[in-house]
């Protein structure tokens, strides 16, 4: 892999994994996205898609130094962590980031709750890797070293969630899930964070018809995602966190409508990869 910035989707679904055959084209794993910036590997969320990612990283010898950026602790974003192969390697260091600080919540506690009897047979002490927890306040910015600049913001979601933006060698990537837009007008703070991004992965759980009945559920429609991308002048939008009710036929319709509304927009699929900042490949 020679691209400066490259992304691969390992889990694109929200809520719960959907292994059913009618979900096979878009994929049924929950949220997990790999971002490679030169020699660095960043992982966004630890949904069920992080299991195949972990196997791939170990096979490539790339799993020894990782940053795992967690949007929030809902179980569809953490459920894969106990199956993440690099976490069981003594020679690995994983920095776990989350924008919880100030809300008296800590990622370490959430992981311990997830991995406890009777819910799970092993505890986090079973991990052999060095896990470094980096709880911060959503809105903070960080120099991650090696030319990576990280900026964050709060998302509107039950219990809160964090939006991430990474800039590296003139290219930029955003990961904004889970988020409920307040209406048709995008949140100015998110427009500012997304300004000019090459690629924005964005919560588009619902159709415009569905979102009206789901106020307070913490998610947006593809039309609200498109409005955010348009307001921020984003290069390409990747619709993400697909609702478990949307099988492949539904996703084909959603993707076509969104791409008609904003050319270049696509619905992310498990296994899909692309170079960021390169010309669209269709």
Instruction: List residues near Zn ion by CB under 5 A.
Output: 14, 74, 76, 178
Contacts of 206 (CB under 8 A, 6+ apart): 214, 219, 220, 221, 222, 243
Q: Is the CB of residue 64 less than 8 Å from the CB of residue 74?
A: no
The nearer residue to Zn ion, 172 or 177, going by C-beta atoms, is 177
What is the closest distance, in whole angstroms, from the C-beta atom of residue 143 to Zn ion in the complex?
A: 28
Instruction: Give the Cα separation of 203 and 219 in Å (integer).
Output: 7
Q: Is the CB of residue 46 less than 8 Å from the CB of residue 30?
A: no
The nearer residue to Zn ion, 14 or 277, going by C-beta atoms, is 14
Give, in order, the Cα–Cα distances in Å from 268 to each of 64, 101, 210, 223, 241. Answer: 27, 30, 20, 16, 9
The nearer residue to Zn ion, 67 or 178, going by C-beta atoms, is 178
* Tokens of residue 241, six digits: 């966190």
Give, in order, the Cα–Cα distances in Å from 273 to each of 20, 188, 276, 280. Answer: 22, 29, 9, 12
What is the closest distance, in whole angstroms, from the C-beta atom of residue 178 to Zn ion in the complex?
A: 4
The nearer residue to Zn ion, 164 or 168, going by C-beta atoms, is 164
The nearer residue to Zn ion, 89 or 157, going by C-beta atoms, is 157
CB closest to Zn ion, residue no: 74
What is the closest distance, in whole angstroms, from the C-beta atom of residue 16 to Zn ion in the complex?
A: 10
State the CB neighbour count (10 A cutoff) for residue 111. Answer: 22
What is the closest distance, in whole angstroms, from the C-beta atom of residue 161 to Zn ion in the complex?
A: 6
DSSP characters for 226-240? HHHHHHHT-SEEEEE
What is the closest distance, in whole angstroms, from the C-beta atom of residue 74 to Zn ion in the complex?
A: 3
What is the closest distance, in whole angstroms, from the C-beta atom of residue 251 to Zn ion in the complex?
A: 17
Q: What is the CA radius of gyration of the chain?
A: 17
What is the closest distance, in whole angstroms, from the C-beta atom of residue 31 to Zn ion in the complex?
A: 6
Closest Cα partner for 218 from 261, 267, 176, 269?
176
The nearer residue to Zn ion, 30 or 207, going by C-beta atoms, is 30
The nearer residue to Zn ion, 74 or 100, going by C-beta atoms, is 74
Instruction: Give the Cα separation of 156 and 158 in Å (integer).
Output: 7
H helix intervals, 148-204: 188-194
């Amino acid at each position: 892999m020679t691209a400066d910035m490259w992304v691969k989707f390992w889990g694109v679904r929200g809520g719960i994994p959907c292994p059913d055959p009618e979900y096979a084209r878009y994929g049924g794993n929950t949220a997990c996205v790999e971002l490679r910036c030169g020699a660095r590997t960043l992982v966004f969320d630890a949904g069920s898609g992080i299991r195949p990612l972990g196997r791939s990283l170990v096979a490539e010898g790339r799993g020894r130094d990782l940053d795992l950026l967690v949007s929030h602790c809902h179980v569809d974003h953490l459920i894969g962590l106990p199956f993440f192969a690099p976490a069981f390697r003594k020679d690995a260091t994983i920095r776990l980031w989350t924008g919880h600080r100030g809300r008296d919540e800590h990622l370490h506690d959430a992981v311990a709750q997830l991995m406890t009897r009777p819910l799970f047979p092993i505890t986090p002490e079973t991990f052999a890797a060095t896990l470094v927890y980096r709880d911060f306040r959503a809105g903070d910015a960080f120099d991650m070293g090696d030319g990576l600049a990280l900026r964050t913001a709060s998302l509107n979601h039950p219990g809160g969630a964090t939006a991430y933006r990474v800039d590296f060698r003139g290219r930029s990537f955003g990961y904004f899930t889970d988020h409920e837009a307040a209406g048709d007008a995008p949140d100015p703070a998110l427009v500012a964070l997304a300004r000019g991004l090459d690629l924005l992965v964005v919560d588009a759980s619902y159709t415009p018809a569905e979102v009206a009945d789901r106020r307070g559920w913490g998610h947006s429609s593809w039309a609200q995602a498109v409005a955010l991308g348009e307001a921020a002048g984003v290069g390409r939008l990747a619709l993400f966190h697909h609702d478990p009710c949307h099988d492949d036929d539904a996703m084909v319709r959603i993707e076509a409508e969104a791409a008609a509304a904003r050319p270049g927009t696509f619905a992310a699929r498990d296994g899909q990869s692309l170079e960021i900042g390169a010309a669209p490949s269709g």
